[in-house]
A and B are shown apart, each in its own frame.
Chain A
Amino acid sequence: MAEAKLPELDYDKLEIGEELGTYEYLLTEEILESFRASVEDPDAVFPTIGVKHDATALAMCYQDNIGGVNAGNEMEFHNPPIPGKKITVTGRVHDKYLRRDKPYLVIEATAIDEDGRLLEKMRTYQMKKPDEVGKKWQAQS
């Protein structure tokens, strides 16, 4: 059976407060070890930073053919996730606005584990005109 196609992300139609649904996944030792190796921190305990809970929630709801660039992150750490336990993530559109003629989308997510432990809350500020990056920075590289 063919997978249902996701609706294309239309920035103008996104609503502040729009729910991005809930999903769950199993945090594995593999994810933890990949994360630790990628950031060279053997004591890191929040591999969920790499899972990108809020962006994943958005990607599960919409096909984003324009993309964006991460302009900022806010994270709260409450309890380290435990490998082998399922994590449930709930996402939401927190805000959207124009700044210096560039559109921004703010998404957020909350993660809890299968025992009801609050793990983390995160918020990401996406600049939704990614070609501005090349215009500003490519020549300086």
Chain B
Amino acid sequence: MASAELNNTTIPSVTKSITQVKINQFESCGILERENIHNSPELAQRRLGTTYTLASGRMSVAFASESLRKFFGADVFNHTGTVNLKFLRPVKEGDTITVGGSVNSRQEVENGTMVIVDLYCENQNGDKTAIGQGTAIVS
């Protein structure tokens, strides 16, 4: 579990296999039942010009959140955590996504020390699918 002392420390890595079943299950969390580029191959073809649907970028946000929660501890991350990701490359069925990262810096804030973590997501080919940062405030 992180403390304010740790610099350049790597965060626990998580690896996830992407399947259309899981993509559809993620989309089923929505409160509006609607087709989109994640659950409809036809709509993905029409709007994106791809022969595949895309996994929502928010799935990667969830993966990164898990990694950060394991690093900071649930109590800290679930109440002070942030995730900020920029998506670089489509994620689709058959991909395996690994989240990793390391502590970049710390800064003193009103209610403690904000620990800033550089994040990345990469696929089975080592291609980056997302980059960004996550933070949490430790006391």
Enumerate chain A interface residues (CB-CB to B < 8 A). Answer: 25, 31, 34-35, 37-41, 43-47, 49-52, 56, 59-60, 66-67, 69-80, 125, 130-131, 133-135, 137-138, 141
Contact = CB atoms under 8 A, between A and B. Distances in A.
A69 B85 contact: no
* Interface size band for B: 35 or more
Given A31-B29, A49-B62, A137-B50, 12 more contacts: A34-B28, A35-B26, A38-B59, A40-B16, A46-B78, A71-B86, A73-B84, A75-B83, A77-B83, A80-B78, A131-B49, A141-B51
**Chain A contact residues: helix, strand, loop or mixed:** mixed
A39 B62 contact: yes
A12 to B, nearest CB: 19
Contacts of A25: 31
Interface stretch (B5-13, B63-71, B100-108, B110-118): B63-71
Given A37-B25, A49-B61, A52-B30, A77 B80 contact: yes
Interface string B13-49: 0001000001101111111101011000001000111
Contacts of A45: 74, 78
B23 to A, nearest CB: 8
